[in-house]
């Protein structure tokens, strides 16, 4: 794709975003419905209110309550640490019930974007955590990189052309033989998570440079990854890595080099 086509992709995404947003006034707050879907295929909603002169954006406790309903409590140190790591990566806070950010009208859009990303990430990373699963997928990918002596920085923020900051899971620096590599751990590969990753890559294209490579680790431990997911990634020159095939020599050499 050339630069003009990349910019058209950004425009199309932002147009879809605008058309998918709606707002309703509820007493002292506003309910903002977004085009992003949760695991139930329901639209994610954000609630805005003012407290002590600041704008508070929150999920009104939906994400953590939904996980508790599915039997997943944030009670173990490991789960708390993973949750806090995600929140720190997006600059989002929690009071134990709701996810929220404090903002002003000046940076409202960026904070809203960060909250939505945190809601999607937490829903994605915890939803498939079953008793038989030893660790969360992000941790599995990190352990894989450590096992093969891959040098990386976790949870790196990259600014995009749109003005938004994007958090990528792992950034592998350029070496003498390999270009910079971005690695994303996608626990539940679907239209939402794949589209979100592709937008991040296109939005940061100019900053990353043409030689930068992108990888998507796809969790196929409990689901079959559809051909449409693989095709969508390959069209945008993203290298898909099925978790069941992660030990293939070509992947290890490409990441550790």
In-domain check, residue 81: yes
Distances (CA, A) of 129 to 9, 89, 137, 156, 197: 34, 20, 9, 24, 22
Pair 32, 102 in one domain: yes
Pair 110, 147 in one domain: no
Rounded to whole angstroms, the Cα distance separating 172 from 252 reads: 13
Q: What is the pLDDT of residue 175?
A: 92
In-domain check, residue 166: yes
Q: What is the pLDDT of residue 118?
A: 94
Last residue of a domain, one of 77, 95, 127: 127
Pair 101, 152 in one domain: no
- Report, as ranges of residue numbers, the positions in the chain whose pLDDT lies below 50: 130-134
Q: What is the pLDDT of residue 246?
A: 95
Q: What is the pLDDT of residue 128?
A: 52
Output the six-digit token pair for 199.
């937008």
In-domain check, residue 169: yes
The domain of 95 spans 3-127
Pair 32, 12 in one domain: yes
Q: What is the pLDDT of residues 103-133, one digit of tens each?
A: 988 889 899 999 999 999 888 766 555 443 4
Q: What is the pLDDT of residue 253?
A: 94
Q: Is the pTM of this model over 0.85?
A: no
Pair 53, 145 in one domain: no
Domains of the chain: total? 2
In-domain check, residue 189: yes
Pair 109, 184 in one domain: no
Pair 157, 212 in one domain: yes
Q: What is the pLDDT of residue 179?
A: 93
Q: What is the pLDDT of residue 41?
A: 87
Name the residue among 61, 57, 156, 148 with its Cα closest to residue 109: 57
Q: What is the pLDDT of residue 133?
A: 43
In-domain check, residue 132: no
């Amino acid at each position: 794709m050339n630069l003009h086509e990349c910019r058209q992709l950004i425009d199309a995404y932002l147009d879809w975003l605008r058309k998918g947003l709606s707002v309703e006034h509820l007493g002292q707050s506003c309910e903002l419905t977004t085009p992003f879907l949760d695991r139930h295929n329901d639209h994610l909603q954000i609630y805005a209110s003012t407290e002590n002169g600041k704008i508070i954006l929150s999920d009104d406790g939906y994400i953590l309550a939904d996980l508790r309903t599915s039997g997943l409590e944030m009670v173990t140190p490991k789960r708390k640490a993973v949750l806090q790591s995600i929140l720190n990566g997006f600059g989002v806070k929690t009071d134990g019930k709701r996810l929220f950010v404090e903002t002003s009208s000046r940076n409202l859009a960026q904070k809203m974007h960060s909250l939505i990303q945190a809601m999607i990430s937490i829903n994605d990373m915890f939803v498939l955590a079953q008793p038989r699963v030893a660790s969360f997928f992000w941790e599995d990918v990190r352990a894989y990189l450590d096992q093969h002596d891959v040098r990386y920085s976790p949870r790196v923020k990259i600014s995009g052309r749109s003005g938004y900051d994007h958090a990528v899971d792992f950034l592998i620096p350029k070496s003498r033989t390999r270009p910079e590599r971005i690695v994303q751990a996608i626990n539940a590969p679907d239209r939402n998570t794949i589209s979100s990753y592709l937008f991040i890559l296109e939005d940061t294209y100019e900053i990353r440079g043409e030689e930068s490579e992108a990888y998507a680790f796809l969790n196929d431990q409990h689901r079959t990854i559809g051909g449409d997911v693989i095709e969508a990634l390959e069209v945008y020159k993203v290298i898909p890595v099925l978790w069941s095939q992660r030990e293939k020599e070509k992947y290890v050499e490409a990441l550790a080099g």
